[in-house]
Structure formats: C-alpha cells, structure tokens
C-alpha cells in the first residue's frame, strides 16, 4: 500500500523518551478515546484495562510506556501538555487510584493491575497494545501497533487507505529515492522544492512556513534547555547530564537571555576542529538528555534519535554559514523529512523491528542529505550523502541498558550527527555518477538486515549491552 507521508509526519513535536514506546502508546490511547466517543461508550465506561505486548512490555517501564498510556487516557496531548504537569497527573492517578478518562469522566484505575505487561509478541508487530473498556455488561476492545516515529496503526490498515487517497493530491507522488531523483532531474529542481510543492497540496504556504519554524524553535529550545540543565537523569541508572559541563567549557562567561541570542553568541566562539566536534556532540547530548527526562523534543524520525538532526542543523547555522536563516532552516527540514519518509516506506524506523540502524542510522541519513543540499549539493549528491550515512550504520543493534533511552542511546546521537556531517562532506567532494550504491539499494539492504537480526537486539533489552552491563553496576 502506497503512503502519503508529510514532513510533519516525520518531524513531530512530543514528549520523551521514546517515539515508539512513549509517543505511540500515548497516541493510541487518544485514538481509543476517540473510538469510545464514536461508539457512545465513553460516558458509560466504568473501568479501562491496557495490555502491552512484546517490546512494549519488555522495555515499557524504562520507556515510560505505562505513564504515556495513563496520560493519553487522561485526555492530555503530548504536543502541548506543559511538561511540568506530567508528574502531578501521574502522581494523582497513582495516589487516588482514579483516572479522569478523556478529561471528562472520573473512574477507578489501579495502575498496577489495569496496565498489564505481557512478554509474548502479537504477530502483526513487535509493539502491540490492546485497550479494553468495561461498561455495564459489555466490553469494547481495540488493538493498536506503534510502528516507530510515533506512527500508530491497526492491523486492518484503515488509515493507510486514507493516506493513499491523500497521496493522490500530491503533484509528485514519491515511493522511493529513484522517483524523487527523476522529478528533480526532469524538472531541474532541488529536493526541497519538490517537497514544498507536495506539502502545498495539503496546507497553505503560510501554514507550512509557520509549522516548519515551530519545529525548529522547539529543537532550538530543547538544545538550549539541555545545555543549561545539570544533575542526574531519572530512571535508576544514575546517568549524569554531560551537556551542561561541556557547554560551560565551550561558552565561557558569555551573556545571553534566550535561545536565539544564545545561537548568535555561539557564532562568535572559537571553531577549531576539536571545538566543532565538542559543539556538535554537546547539541546532540543536550537534546537526548532532555528526551530522557520526559522533556519536549521533536521526533526526528524517533525520540531516541531526536538529537541528530538538531545538532547537524545547529552546526550549519553556527559554524558553517553565519548568514543562514529561516530559508535554509526550512529547506533543511523539508529534505530531512522527505528522506526519512522514503526510509519508512522502504524499510522501517522502528528499533523494535530493525534495531538502532532504524533510528540513529535513519536520522543520520536524513541529516546528511539535508546538510548536503543547504551546502549546495545536487540532488544526486544529496541522496549519496544519505546513502553513505546509512551504509555505515547497517546492523547497529538496539540494546538499551535497563530499557532506558540513556545508555548507549544518548551518546549514539553524537555519533550519528558526526557521521552525517562527514557523509555530506564526502558526497560534496564526489561525482555522484561514480556512486556504486544507490540510496534505494541501501534502504533495501537495511530492511533485509533488520529481518535477519536476532530479536534480542531489537529493543527488548535481552541482548548486547543490556545484559552485558548489570543495572546494579550503574
């Protein structure tokens, strides 16, 4: 089934720590509430039970899946909820053993009994969950699957049919990298220009521009918060935030009052090679430390890999091109979103399906492609940059210690960002006609690698570092 995927599907504002294990279940809970309303059952519901399966069960506690489900059932929106309210809502549910269903109806809810962790996997996808509403003498059950990047589907794929109808409105329907390249070649256009025309078939130019900048400002604020927050991350691993100390060593005693002034201040700092490495790493660390603390991030294309694209875009703005502004920011985000959508169509962006190559690998490819275009790369070079970045992430496993999006996840964002910059530079210095591996081939190889990968290395915490390092050692 062909899909219509917008840039705003690939770059979504939400709450950490995981797009597939936090944002997805949160959205699934919202959709369940919508179904109850549609069936006129919400006001008749006396109890709700949630069954989590497979990867959602095995690493759900570490990913705050249970908290996300409760917040979703409470009618809270992950895009707009004040993050400082999260603890209050969860504490209230736990202390009172009640939940305000859809923010409309107070019903009994015992989070220890009404959220059930089932280690068995449902056949359709590794991230399955079933919601059950009990009314007088009747049960209403609905099963959802969180397929990565905050995307949620049902097995019958009803929404996929709707997306197919939307796609018909696209002047340039794109299923793979080759189709995208053909549009650019025949019309002598940049990838971002093709993407912008597709977006205009669904939204006004004003709305597109506004939303792209809202995404960037959320990324910038996330980096800013991360660089100015110190302490220990929640979850029990006692991971100390590092962005704060690294940032202090880089910025010195500079004065600024907001994220934009901060950006301008960084432009004035020393930019030797070591400082550049440190700045890029600092930006990526900052985002994923905020993510690990249930802060607001942009899923890009997942929460676990949310630091790569902001770090690379920030690098471009503060190191590579001090004259860059809104035009280049929007251009960067559109290219990144399109490359991510092609990976989603041809492979997966779910670590539970493909390991960390599906998260850090894809985000690195997205960032590499976007950086290549804003630095003047041709569409062929842009795709080559994405291919190079993914080629050197193939087979990367997902083995989070304690099921938390912390070790090795936070550091991996720094590696993905640096590889993206390297990949873009290699592509810029290469005649793309001499490329031996097309982007579509590496996407297909990634999917084959994902299918061959042992399930222990797919976000289950049953292999790799997750078992080699005991939580007690941390």
Confidence of residue 215 (pLDDT cuts 50, 70, 90): very high
Q: 237 with 401: CB under 8 angstroms?
A: yes
State the greatest distance between any 2 C-alpha atoms of the chain, in Å, as a whole number: 70
Across 106-110, 433-437, 460-464, which has the greatest mean pLDDT? Answer: 106-110
Q: 347 with 339: CB under 8 angstroms?
A: no
Q: Is the peptide bond before 407 cis (omega within 30 degrees of 0)?
A: no
CB atoms near residue 404 (< 10 Å): 27
Residue 331: which residues within 8 A CB-CB, separation 6 or more?
190, 192, 370, 373, 374
At residue 471, does pLDDT exceed 70? no
CA gap 414, 310 in Å, rounded: 11
pLDDT of residue 361: 98
Helix axes 65-73, 86-96, angle to 10 degrees: 90
What separation in angstroms does the CA of 294 have from each of 47, 291, 373? 27, 5, 32
Tell which residue, 416, 373, 393, 392, has the closest CA to residue 287: 416
Name residue, tokens 């110190």: 230
CA gap 93, 80 in Å, rounded: 20
Confidence of residue 53 (pLDDT cuts 50, 70, 90): very high
Q: 186-213 burial by CB neighbour count: b if 16+ within 10 A, else e? A: eeebbbbbbbbebbeeeeeeeebbebbe
Confidence of residue 3 (pLDDT cuts 50, 70, 90): low
At residue 137, does pLDDT exceed 90? no
At residue 161, does pLDDT exceed 70? no
pLDDT of residue 458: 93
pLDDT of residue 2: 55
pLDDT of residue 167: 45
pLDDT of residue 1: 42
| Token duo for residue 13 | 């504002």
Average pLDDT, the chain: 94
Residue 36: which residues within 8 A CB-CB, separation 6 or more?
42, 45, 102, 133, 140
Pairing of strands 138-148, 128-135: antiparallel
Tell which residue, 12, 357, 52, has the closest CA to residue 212: 12
* pLDDT, tens digit (0-9, with 9 covering 90-100), for 412-427: 999 999 999 999 999 9
At residue 324, does pLDDT exceed 80? yes
* pLDDT, tens digit (0-9, with 9 covering 90-100), for 369-427: 999 999 999 999 999 999 999 999 999 999 999 989 999 999 999 999 999 999 999 99
CA gap 100, 412 in Å, rounded: 38
Residue 298: which residues within 8 A CB-CB, separation 6 or more?
11, 12, 13, 14, 215, 218, 219, 222, 306, 309, 310
β-strand partners of 329 = none
* pLDDT, tens digit (0-9, with 9 covering 90-100), for 183-211: 999 999 999 999 999 999 999 999 999 99
CB atoms near residue 327 (< 10 Å): 11
Residue 398, Cα to own-chain centre: how many angstroms? Answer: 15
Q: What is the mean pLDDT of residues 454-458?
A: 94
Instruction: Identify the three-state secondary structure at position 107.
Output: strand
CA gap 266, 453 in Å, rounded: 42
CA gap 223, 254 in Å, rounded: 17
Instruction: Identify the three-state secondary structure at position 102.
Output: coil
At residue 287, does pLDDT exceed 70? yes
What separation in angstroms does the CA of 182 have from each of 34, 313, 434? 41, 26, 17
Instruction: Identify the three-state secondary structure at position 129.
Output: strand
Residue 321, Cα to own-chain centre: how many angstroms? Answer: 26
Q: What is the mean pLDDT of residues 217-230?
A: 98
């Amino acid at each position: 089934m062909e899909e219509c995927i917008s840039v705003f599907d690939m770059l979504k504002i939400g709450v950490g720590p995981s797009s597939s294990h936090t944002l997805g279940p949160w959205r699934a809970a919202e959709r369940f509430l919508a179904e109850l309303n549609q069936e006129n059952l919400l006001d008749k519901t006396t109890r709700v039970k949630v069954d989590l399966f497979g990867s959602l069960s095995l690493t759900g506690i570490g990913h705050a899946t249970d908290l996300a489900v409760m917040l979703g059932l409470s009618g809270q929106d992950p895009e707009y909820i004040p993050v400082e309210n999260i603890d209050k809502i969860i504490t209230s549910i736990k202390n009172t053993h009640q939940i305000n269903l859809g923010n409309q109806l107070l019903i009994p809810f015992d989070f220890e009994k009404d959220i059930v962790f089932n280690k068995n996997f449902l056949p359709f996808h590794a991230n399955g969950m079933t919601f059950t509403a009990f009314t007088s003498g009747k049960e209403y059950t609905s099963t959802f699957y969180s397929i990565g990047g905050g995307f949620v589907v049902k097995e019958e794929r009803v929404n996929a049919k709707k997306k197919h109808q939307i796609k018909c409105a696209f002047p340039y329907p794109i299923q793979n990298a080759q189709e995208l390249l053909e549009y650019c070649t025949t019309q002598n256009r940049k990838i971002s220009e093709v993407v912008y025309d597709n977006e205009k078939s669904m939204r006004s130019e004003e709305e597109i521009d506004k939303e792209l900048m809202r995404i960037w400002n959320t990324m910038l604020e996330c980096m800013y918060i991360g660089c100015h927050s110190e302490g220990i991350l929640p979850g029990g691993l006692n991971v100390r935030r590092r962005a704060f100390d690294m940032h202090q060593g880089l910025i010195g005693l500079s004065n600024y009052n907001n994220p934009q002034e901060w950006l301008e201040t960084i432009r004035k700092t020393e930019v030797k090679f070591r400082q550049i490495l440190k700045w890029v790493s600092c930006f990526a660390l900052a985002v994923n430390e905020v993510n690990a603390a249930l802060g607001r991030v942009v899923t890009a294309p997942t929460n676990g890999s949310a630091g790569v694209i902001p770090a690379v875009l920030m690098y471009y703005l503060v190191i590579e091109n001090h004259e860059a502004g809104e035009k280049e920011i929007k251009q960067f985000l559109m290219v990144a979103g399109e490359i991510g959508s092609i990976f989603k169509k041809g492979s997966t962006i779910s670590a539970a399906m493909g390991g960390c190559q599906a998260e850090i690998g894809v985000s690195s490819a997205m960032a590499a492609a976007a950086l290549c275009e804003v630095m003047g790369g041709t569409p062929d070079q842009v795709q080559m940059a994405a291919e190079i970045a993914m080629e050197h992430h193939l087979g990367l496993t997902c083995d989070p210690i304690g099921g938390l999006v912390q070790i090795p996840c936070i550091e991996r964002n720094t590696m993905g960002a640096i590889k993206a910059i390297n990949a873009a530079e290699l592509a810029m210095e290469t005649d793309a006609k001499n490329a031996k591996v097309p982007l579509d081939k590496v996407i297909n190889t990634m999917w084959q690698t994902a299918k061959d990968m042992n399930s222990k290395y797919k976000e289950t915490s049953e292999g790799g570092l997750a078992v080699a390092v005991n939580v007690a050692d941390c």
